[in-house]
Structure 1
């Protein structure tokens, strides 16, 4: 190595060198103090298990009291009907927090499916590569942008494939926790408004084509149904797990709260008429059991509530054992931005930064700004997604 380059690399900060090599080395598992381990793992899990036991006993007592108050419908599997063309979409995000900035990483996909078949190539949108040097709600902003481009790619899919149904992986009505606060950055406020405009544009695009759009929420913490039944301290899915059988779904309940007020402002900003706003911005939710796991939540605008039963047939017929419909599962698989993918990108950033140092276009000391924030995960593979193939 040339003396000048050797001196330049000698000036590379040690934290950066250690972090760059970390994925390529084997590390001992981190340990905590034995007494703390005993409290957290041994004694703590005993207390948690006892709490879960009492929770389940209470759940079974409650269900005997409220079962008759839950209005349920059912559908049968129909492979022929479920061969109708649908569009499914999803988005993923998994940015990295460096010492100097947050670098978002997000993408979306939409595909068309007919039963268990995908007849055409999917459509993708990759998130904008940028640096957020002053965003304190970086994770929320990244999630917003993922939602935004999911709506945008779904519009393109609807225009291209003219489906009979649209299945949107996730809720249609965003929670109020994503709303900007007084100290939110200008970038966050801008992305928030543009995200709402995108989702309203999607729902309106489906409305004018008379295509039902269904939000399929897989991670559900809602308690609204339980509260309407006078049940406190219990999630809807925990209660309905004892009620719904395969192919059954609850009669839709009207949704309140969330960002309904902001949705209406967005619709007016887009020039949507008052009559159309009433048709597309009244949302309902339903829970459906399509597999062996707890029920999933569906969200839909009122203009297509009369076709919930038809949507339920397709979702139930095309679901795997875990209850995830084929089209949604395929979209999720295509756009799953794992920690491994995120860290491979970070490693690529490190490599290209080193090339700039080698070319004399960046000072070695600048690499310190590329080290990860304390506690950021660093792995080149996600254990949850390792596949073991059978031998022979």
Structure 2
């Protein structure tokens, strides 16, 4: 059997390539979209017709009344930005954390950053590395609050699948990914000792965990959960089996017992659209309580917990601000070098490769 790669996909369909006058291409695009829409329609009808049985298979539960006015969470997010120049791509990464009581910010936020260890000639590699550094800073910053929080909310997933990403990294990238994974395990292990749940809030669902469980190929978890979840409902947590090898590896690196740290995912509709909540195994039995608290502190429209929305806004490194500081600094460098022509070497690059 031929391995399912893009190369084999193209080879199998070489005879179906259509070459037409440019004036006809819009019609072909329209026909292609029409075929895709028919396939999508069939999948949606399949979900609709089996809605009740799918709800049972997914283990739909409903949030309950809880008092969240004194529920203390630490919310943490990270962001990065950078400028591509003739000298390469140099990113900056920051993480922001703040304590909340209910939906109200209780303390001034704190931030963390670290110097990304290289200038990257490959911008894509630089952005992947920046993302990993962001995760590392998130996990490290969250550990500072464990003694005073009822729960940790991380903006983003816990089932990151670094092993897949690591195959595309340089040696330094692999080392950073292992450090980030080890920091996640350290956070989970320390939080477990405090009895503190750690929840990853995934705002844009791109996974297929739920659709695989329900045997609904061709549909994303977002489409499936949106189809049969009502407001205030969530699915029973689903084990992210593929993460276990990573958890075991990272646990060995920091000498931690991985039992109880396996990652589970629950899909919840706390507002108009569903989100995914990742959690370690040691707090799965508290899913009802935790999801009910999140429902109370989420915005009615998006269903995203307000603490996450707040730190997400604070952690963004805006393009305008970054470029302003960058160009101001590079202008000074050019002046110090006494050669104004070097500013072209340091200026942001635009356009395609």
**Fold equivalence (TM over 0.5):** yes
Match for residue 310 of structure 2?
Answer: 330
Match for residue 268 of structure 1?
Answer: 252
Match for residue 288 of structure 2?
Answer: 309
Instruction: Name which of structure 1's ranges 68-77 and 117-126 shifts more when overlaid on structure 2.
Output: 68-77
Asked whether the equivalents of residues 210 and 224 of structure 2 are also in contact (C-alpha less than 8 Å), the reply is: no
Match for residue 228 of structure 1?
Answer: 213
Match for residue 238 of structure 1?
Answer: 223
- 1-structure distance, mates of 2:334, 2:305: 49
Shift of 1:249: 0.6
> Structure 1 pair 352/93, CA: closer, same or farther in 2 (3 Å)?
closer
- 2-structure distance, mates of 1:55, 1:43: 18
Match for residue 89 of structure 2?
Answer: 102
- 2-structure distance, mates of 1:355, 1:241: 52
Q: Deviations over 1:217-258 (max 9, x none)?
A: 112211122122221111112012121111111011111114
Match for residue 23 of structure 1?
Answer: none
- 2-structure distance, mates of 1:84, 1:121: 17
In the comparison of the two structures, how many residue pairs are matched? Answer: 327
- 2:342 is paired with a residue of what secondary structure? helix
Does the alignment pair 1:74 with 2:81? no
> Structure 1 pair 36/158, CA: closer, same or farther in 2 (3 Å)?
farther
Q: Deviations over 1:65-86 (max 9, x none)?
A: 24242211101343x2353111
- 2-structure distance, mates of 1:197, 1:112: 24
Does the alignment pair 1:290 with 2:274? no
Match for residue 5 of structure 2?
Answer: none
Q: Deviations over 1:11-69 (max 9, x none)?
A: xxxxxxxxxxxxxxxxxxxxxxxx979956x8746753673465145313233224242
Asked whether the equivalents of residues 105 and 342 of structure 1 are also in contact (C-alpha less than 8 Å), the reply is: no
Shift of 1:317: 1.1
Q: 1:175 aligns with which of 126, 138, 161?
A: 161
- 1-structure distance, mates of 2:321, 2:59: 49
Does the alignment pair 1:165 with 2:151? yes
Asked whether the equivalents of residues 111 and 157 of structure 1 are also in contact (C-alpha less than 8 Å), the reply is: no
Match for residue 111 of structure 1?
Answer: 98
Asked whether the equivalents of residues 64 and 288 of structure 2 are also in contact (C-alpha less than 8 Å), the reply is: no
- 1-structure distance, mates of 2:91, 2:33: 36
- 2-structure distance, mates of 1:324, 1:38: 44
Shift of 1:128: 1.9
Q: 1:278 aligns with which of 250, 259, 262?
A: 259
Instruction: Name which of structure 1's ranges 312-321 and 124-133 shifts more when overlaid on structure 2.
Output: 124-133
**Aligned-residue CA RMSD (Å):** 2.6
> Structure 1 pair 362/63, CA: closer, same or farther in 2 (3 Å)?
farther
Q: 1:138 aligns with which of 90, 104, 126?
A: 126
Does the alignment pair 1:200 with 2:179? no
Q: Deviations over 1:260-291 (max 9, x none)?
A: 3233222112121xxx31112x2211100000
TM-score (norm 1): 0.76
Match for residue 147 of structure 1?
Answer: 135
Asked whether the equivalents of residues 101 and 131 of structure 1 are also in contact (C-alpha less than 8 Å), the reply is: no
Shift of 1:112: 1.1
- 1-structure distance, mates of 2:200, 2:22: 43
* Bigger-Rg structure (1/2): 1
TM-score (norm 2): 0.84
Q: Going by fraction, where is strand more abundant, 1 or 2?
A: 2
- 2-structure distance, mates of 1:37, 1:205: 63
Q: 1:60 aligns with which of 36, 42, 45?
A: 45
> Structure 1 pair 195/36, CA: closer, same or farther in 2 (3 Å)?
farther
- 2-structure distance, mates of 1:278, 1:203: 11
Match for residue 77 of structure 2?
Answer: 90
Q: 1:318 aligns with which of 263, 272, 297?
A: 297
